[in-house]
A and B are shown apart, each in its own frame.
Chain A
Amino acid sequence: MSDNSITPTPNEPRAFSYAPMPDVGLPIRDRLGQYPRVPDITFDALRTVARWTAVGLTKLQFRIEVRGDEPSGDRVALVANHQSHLDSLVVLASLSERRRREIACLAAKDYFFEKTSLALASSLFAMAVAFDRTRYTELRRWTRILREQRRGTLLVYPSGSRRRSEAHDAILFVLASSGWTIVPVAIAGSAQAWPIGRALWRPFRRIRITFGPQLSATPTRDLGGVLASFWSANT
């Protein structure tokens, strides 16, 4: 005999309910630059292929020396000095594949995400996400995003530009107040490998990456000074 004793589901009307992806309607360059990234089979696959290609070519062309331990933790912000377009690729090449997969590199929206072609290159090869430095509410928006994230790796250049060396305190404050672990990263040699203003890079140079100790105990107001000392001691 068949068993008909299955508890029936409540007899309530059920209709299809649609929950569009949160980035429906956004232009492609905005979709590429969003953080957290909305899952996308095409972009994810392209990003994997592009990342492997970029990291492979970087490792082939430059002698990368890594000092210090790779950062651990669920929410890690790698805070680095910025001197060259190679910086992000070199940091990617010095990390494990698991970190590389989830990393997001904060990049100026008005520079890297104005054109779809550049947005594609930045997002796919260098894992860039858009930071809109022209909006005065951007820091507040990022504070909210970072607080909600349970896991992630960010690569941040607090100087905001390859031509500046001192860190902007505001982004450091956002990272610290959001509870993310701040890890200082010093990049040495990338400025010679691809100097500012040159169209092409110079291969076969030595580039050194130094991962410093986590700055969890450092008071927020001292972060800028501690980072500046770390970078000058390791570059």
Chain B
Amino acid sequence: MLPVVLVALWLGTWAWALLITLLSIYGFKEFARATGLYRERLFVLAVYLAMIAANALAYLGRFGLFTVLPMWGVALLTLVPIVRNKTEGMLQDFALSVLGVVYFGWFLAHLTFLAIWDGGLGLVLYVVLATQLNDVVAFLFGRLFGRRHWTALSPNKTVEGSLGALVFGIGFAFVNWQLAFPQLPWWGVLGLGVIVGAGGQIGDLTLANFKRNVGVKDFGDLLPGHGGILDRLNSLTLVAPVAFHFVRFFFDGFP
């Protein structure tokens, strides 16, 4: 996936916004197919629409509208049971669709918003690369030093692997400090490192939890050996908005 990410960033923010929109839609499609929500086309189409809107607003830099987008998305979803004139299973489908709008759509659209900031390219690259490497480091540390398992959500996770990933996230942030986000003070870099190191693992566990609830091993099989798109984006989904709002709140770096 890395070449696709780099090409999109090289082409410009429009290509990046398009890529994030497509990834969100495809990721949600995998989720909807795994849960069975996909049978309710109107819910799925409403979520797609909210995802397109979220990325369009992020691309245009309309922060106010972008922030309230989940409200409009959920408002749109409330119409679906009325249009369908049906009650059976609607609560579950509605809840899953809200998750789609907020977690898979709005959360991921923060990656588009990160890219439009002056100097945001470094931040985007750091968040994407560090999150992906974080998974690899957690796996490697777990294999090499892992002794103590610590969560039922993903039984292969070990304390040693998770701590290794956290340390790596912080270290990677400091190594790239001057290159990726020179305007941040040391504690800002530390904060970003913790967000990636810990947030990535929380995002990973969240999706693992979803998969265990639904009863699937992977959400898809688009990427051989890695599962589906959602299986690759699991960490990024949570890290992107948290990193965005951390930088915006403390450093006011966004429009």
Which residues does A use to contact B, with CB under 8 Å? 16-21, 24-28, 39-42
Q: Select which of A17, A24, A28 is within 8 A of B33 by beta carbon.
A: A24
Q: Select which of A20, A40, A41 is within 8 A of B36 by beta carbon.
A: A20
Contact partners of B215 in chain A: CB under 8 A: 18, 20
* Assembly CA distance A33 to B238 (angstroms): 36
Contact in complex: B33, A21 (CB < 8 Å): yes
* Assembly CA distance A66 to B160 (angstroms): 73
Contact in complex: B29, A42 (CB < 8 Å): yes
Q: Are A27 and B216 also in contact (CB < 8 A) when A20-B33, A21-B33, A41-B45 are? A: no
Q: Are A27 and B35 also in contact (CB < 8 A) when A16-B92, A41-B45, A42-B29 are? A: no
Chain A residue with Cβ nearest B217: A25
B34 at the interface (CB under 8 A from A): yes
4 smallest CB-CB distances across A and B, nearest first, come from A19-B36, A21-B33, A18-B35, A18-B214
Q: For residues 185 through 222 of chain B, which have their beta carbon under 8 Å from a beta carbon of chain A? A: 213-216, 218, 221-222
Q: Select which of B29, B34, B222 is within 8 A of A18 by beta carbon.
A: B34
* Assembly CA distance A20 to B216 (angstroms): 9
Contact partners of A41 in chain B: CB under 8 A: 29, 38, 41, 44-45
B39 at the interface (CB under 8 A from A): yes
Fill in one digit per residue for B3-20: 1 if any A CB lies within 8 Å of its CB, else 0.
Answer: 000000000000000000
Taking chain B's interface residues, is the majority helix, strand, or loop, or is none over half, making it mixed? Answer: helix
* Assembly CA distance A17 to B215 (angstroms): 10
Contact in complex: A25, B221 (CB < 8 Å): yes
Chain B residues within 8 Å of chain A by Cβ, number:
19
A57 to chain B, nearest CB (A): 27
Contact in complex: B39, A39 (CB < 8 Å): yes
Contact partners of B39 in chain A: CB under 8 A: 19, 21, 39
Query: Apart from A18-B35, A19-B36, A25-B216, what 17 extra A-B contacts exist at CB < 8 Å?
Result: A16-B92, A16-B213, A17-B92, A18-B34, A18-B36, A18-B213, A18-B214, A19-B39, A20-B34, A21-B38, A24-B33, A24-B34, A24-B216, A41-B29, A41-B41, A41-B44, A41-B45
B44 to chain A, nearest CB (A): 6
Contact in complex: B35, A20 (CB < 8 Å): yes
Contact partners of A25 in chain B: CB under 8 A: 216, 218, 221
Chain A residue with Cβ nearest B45: A41
Which residues does B use to contact A, with CB under 8 Å? 29, 33-36, 38-39, 41, 44-45, 92, 95, 213-216, 218, 221-222
Chain B residue with Cβ nearest A25: B221
Contact partners of A17 in chain B: CB under 8 A: 92
A-B contact count (CB 8 A): 43
Taking chain A's interface residues, is the majority helix, strand, or loop, or is none over half, making it mixed? Answer: loop
Chain A residue with Cβ nearest B32: A21
A42 to chain B, nearest CB (A): 7
Contact in complex: A27, B214 (CB < 8 Å): no
Q: Are A21 and B41 also in contact (CB < 8 A) when A27-B221, A42-B29 are? A: no
* Assembly CA distance A87 to B140 (angstroms): 55
Residue with the greatest number of chain B CB neighbours at <10 A, chosen from A16, A24, A28:
A24
Chain A residue with Cβ nearest B214: A18
Chain A residue with Cβ nearest B29: A42
B154 to chain A, nearest CB (A): 19
B135 to chain A, nearest CB (A): 22
Contact in complex: A21, B36 (CB < 8 Å): yes
Contact partners of A16 in chain B: CB under 8 A: 92, 95, 213
Contact partners of B213 in chain A: CB under 8 A: 16, 18
B206 to chain A, nearest CB (A): 16
A178 to chain B, nearest CB (A): 27
B91 to chain A, nearest CB (A): 9
Interface CB pairs A-B, < 8 A, 10: A18-B34, A18-B213, A19-B36, A21-B33, A24-B34, A25-B218, A39-B41, A40-B38, A41-B41, A41-B44
Contact partners of B33 in chain A: CB under 8 A: 20-21, 24
Contact partners of B29 in chain A: CB under 8 A: 41-42
* Assembly CA distance A17 to B218 (angstroms): 18
* Assembly CA distance A25 to B224 (angstroms): 12
Contact partners of A21 in chain B: CB under 8 A: 33-34, 36, 38-39
B34 to chain A, nearest CB (A): 5
B181 to chain A, nearest CB (A): 37
Chain A residue with Cβ nearest B35: A18
